[in-house]
Amino acid sequence: MIDKNVVKQLVEEWLKEGDYFLVDVNVSSDDKIVVEIDHADGVWIEDCVSLSRYIEEHLSRDEEDYELEVGSAGLGQPFKVLQQYQNHLGDEVEVLTAEGKKLKGVLKSVDDDDFVVTVQQKVKHEGQKRPVLEDVDIPLKRSTVKYTKYLLQV
């Protein structure tokens, strides 16, 4: 079986040449390798091909046969790494909390494990009869939410 760390190291060597970052590497028991990369401005197919060739040049099919798939993380997919959060600061996101509550709002800030999403909520102020819609900052932890993903606007 192909070692995931070997593949990861090869990808990181290739990534030094540009502004791409690694999102995920998976190696299945039948040696199917799936590499996900991302970039602030999107992923170009030419770069996926280049990375794929780089990996193939450094792995021997004589030693182990494998299937290789290199692609982008995908816009509608949940974020997996901090860099994806940073790339989407100011964008609208959807978060599923650990309690199963969905939040839709703007990704306001992010650092290590903490991030803040600004959502619109009805808030009732003292002395008012009706609640009003206001922006409310919701602090969250990346390690405790089920997912966060970019909300595509159509």
Q: State pLDDT tens for residues 34-83.
A: 999 999 888 999 999 999 999 999 998 888 899 999 999 887 899 999 99
**pLDDT exceeds cutoff 70 at 132:** yes
% of the chain beyond a pLDDT of 90: 79
pLDDT of amino acid 41: 87
pLDDT of amino acid 101: 95
**Distance between first and last Cα of the chain:** 43
pLDDT band at residue 154 under the 50/70/90 scheme:
low
Q: What is the mean pLDDT of residues 138-150?
A: 96
**Rounded (5°) CA angle 25-28-34:** 35
Contacts made by residues 43-46, CB under 8 angstroms, sequence distance 24+: 43/71, 43/72, 43/73
> What is this structure's pTM?
0.84
